[in-house]
Chains A and B, each alone.
Chain A
Amino acid sequence: MSRIDRFSVPLLVSVLVLGSYSAAVTAATAELKINQNKQCIMCHKRNGKMFGLHANDALDLTCQNCHGEKTGHPRKASELIGFATKSVAKSADQTAVCLQCHDVETLSQADWTHDVHSNKVNCASCHQLHPEVDPIIGVTAPERSEMCRDCHSAN
């Protein structure tokens, strides 16, 4: 609960602030703080930009918070982690990153399927954080059922 408050209060405030000053400070808000991260964006201009909820300035997240430190990347070994089915990182490792902030209880309340998938598939199988809206949000019941069928199929 406290974790939600910690995020939601500044988030709400920032939305209000952004809303009221939008006209005056368009130039400033055009570039979210997270996307000014030179270390990453220099190369990942196309595929690295972050527009989703997690990019919000009030959250004060950096690319490194989720993807890890650059260290030797791109030439040498690094601790970097990618989030997708094709990622070399193990599902459990990917999930562990999300669980740093999101606790199991809240996830369970948000949707029961979290309970039975968290140790079997990675979060990115259903969620995408970079686009403005996570495509899983507002998914219709038939679409959702279709997603179940994509993996669970007797044939």
Chain B
Amino acid sequence: MKNSRRLFLKSACAVVVGASGYTIAKSSTESVEMDGKKYALVHDETKCIGCDACSIACREVNQVPEGVSRLEIEREGPYGEYPEQYFRFTRKSCQQCEDAPCVKVCPTGAAYKDPETGIVSVNSWKCVGCQYCIAACPYQVRFINPVTHAADKCDFCKETRLKEGRLPACVSACPTQALTFGDLKDPDSNLVKVLKTAPNYRSKTELGTRPKVFRIASQEGDITL
């Protein structure tokens, strides 16, 4: 009796450990993508003037309620002495991670990566509003939409502009053409050309998220350590 119980406990423990180990291991070796597209975006910070045309267009096209936003331009500065002053502008929006933390933590699968486009999206019907994804996103770009009560964020206008065969609202609104949108898998796309000619960076890559929003760094202002 005593031995059988011990054996049982041991094997049960082994099963639990094995199962959880398998799940975690499986999640880290991602399966090969289907032959869909892989959309990405470049924000050329050297061209950005901080006019907010992108965020205004985004709000209008995607019906984003006041008080929350899918896209914001953050301003840093001024650097330098008057009257030679500069600002730096960075884009705050979904980074369209290849290895998206929000998708990993979502308990219902409401946060998912669209296999056709590679765009991280939200199924607002499946979302229960646990806010785990909001906490898990290191870029802090997810929010609860006050109208739908579901998590929301930038989806490269997948449900609006892309459906009509047009560019995302922010890209076409930008007066200085600081935004380039395209398919990473298409070597002839403007996106790939821009990425190959200009040195670029991505935010918080050390967290292993592999974001698909690239940035061309502003040359103005001070060097920050």
Contact = CB atoms under 8 A, between A and B. Distances in A.
Direct contact of A and B (CB under 8 A): yes
B56 interface: yes
Interface stretch (A35-43, A47-55, A130-138, A140-148): A140-148
A145 to B, nearest CB: 5
Nearest to A146: B53
Interface in B163-194: 175-177
A145 B56 contact: yes
Contact of A152 (B52, B83, B87, B176): B176
Contacts of A152: 49, 51, 175-176
Interface in A102-155: 104, 108, 112, 115-116, 118-119, 141-142, 144-145, 148-149, 152-154
Contact of B85 (A115, A141, A145, A153): A115
A118 B86 CA distance: 12
Contacts of A119: 83-84
B176 A116 contact: no
B87 A118 contact: no
Nearest to B82: A104
Interface residues of A, number: 16
Interface residues of B, number: 19
B85 A149 contact: no
A151 to B, nearest CB: 9
A13 B211 CA distance: 58
Contacts of B86: 116
Interface of B: 47, 49-53, 56, 75, 77-78, 82-87, 175-177
Contacts of A115: 77-78, 82-83, 85, 87
Interface of A is mostly: helix
Given A141-B56, A145-B52, A112 B78 contact: yes
B7 to A, nearest CB: 70
24 contacts: A104-B82, A104-B83, A108-B82, A112-B78, A115-B77, A115-B83, A115-B87, A116-B78, A116-B87, A142-B56, A144-B51, A144-B52, A145-B51, A145-B52, A145-B53, A145-B56, A148-B53, A148-B175, A149-B175, A152-B49, A152-B51, A152-B175, A154-B175, A154-B177
Interface of B is mostly: loop
A125 to B, nearest CB: 15
A116 B85 contact: yes
Contacts of B50: 112
Contacts of A154: 47, 175-177
Given A119-B83, A119-B84, A149 B78 contact: no
Given A116-B87, A152-B175, 19 more contacts: A108-B82, A112-B50, A112-B78, A112-B87, A115-B77, A115-B82, A115-B85, A116-B78, A116-B86, A118-B82, A141-B52, A142-B56, A145-B53, A148-B49, A148-B51, A148-B53, A149-B51, A152-B176, A154-B47
A154 B6 CA distance: 75
A141 B57 CA distance: 11
A149 B176 CA distance: 8
Query: Of B53, B75, B84, B86, which is in contact with the most chain A CB atoms at under 10 Å from its CB?
Result: B53
A154 B46 CA distance: 13
Nearest to B220: A116
Query: Of A108, A115, A153, which is in contact with the most chain B CB atoms at under 10 Å from its CB?
Result: A115
